[in-house]
Amino acid sequence: MTAHFALIGLVASDMAASLAFYRRLGLVFPEGSEALPHAEAGLPGGSVLALDTEETVRSFRPGWRPPAAGGRVSLAFRCGAPAEVDALYADLVGAGYHGESAPWDAVWGQRYAIVLDPDGNGVDLFAPLPAAE
């Protein structure tokens, strides 16, 4: 028997706010998911990003409590070009999301930025930098 990676699950303190954030990043959740306790968006390669409300998680883990200090997971979204990192970062911050790290040229050869989702999880935006000549 072999297990295969299939799903990333996040606990949302405010389902509507989380859906708005991830939809802004291009993920497609079913219409009306704001009223549901669980929502899923397909990811490239066949895996899934799932959002569950805190109440849903407590329904099967009664003692669960949200972390006291920020998220402990980071998701990364690859952009098509360095300028897209800047534009997407500006769009998200302009929409009121917390910009953790403004775009910079990272020593590992990528344009990089970090925004926090509504629950404090890091969401990295990156694109390869053109090769130096």
Indicate the residue type of 48. V
Question: What's the CA gap between 40 and 31, in Å, rounded?
Answer: 11
CA gap 57, 77 in Å, rounded: 26
- Cβ neighbours of residue 81 closer than 8 Å, sequence gap 6 or more: 127
How far, rounded to the nearest angstrom, does the alpha carbon of residue 106 sit from its chain's CA centroid? Answer: 20
Phi, psi dihedrals of residue 51, rounded to the nearest 5°: -115, 130
pTM of this structure: 0.88
Q: What tens digit of pLDDT does each residue of 20-58 get? A: 999 999 999 999 999 999 999 999 999 999 999 999 999
Mean pLDDT of 3-8: 86
Condensed to tens digits (0 to 9), the pLDDT of residues 75-133 reads 999 999 999 999 999 999 999 999 999 999 999 999 999 999 999 899 999 999 998 54
Q: How many CB atoms lie within 10 A of CB 113?
A: 25
Contact (CB, 8 A) for 45 and 95: no
CA dist., res. 80 & res. 64, Å (int): 38
Tell me which of 3 and 29 has the higher pLDDT: 29
Backbone angles phi, psi at 49, to 5 degrees: -105, 120
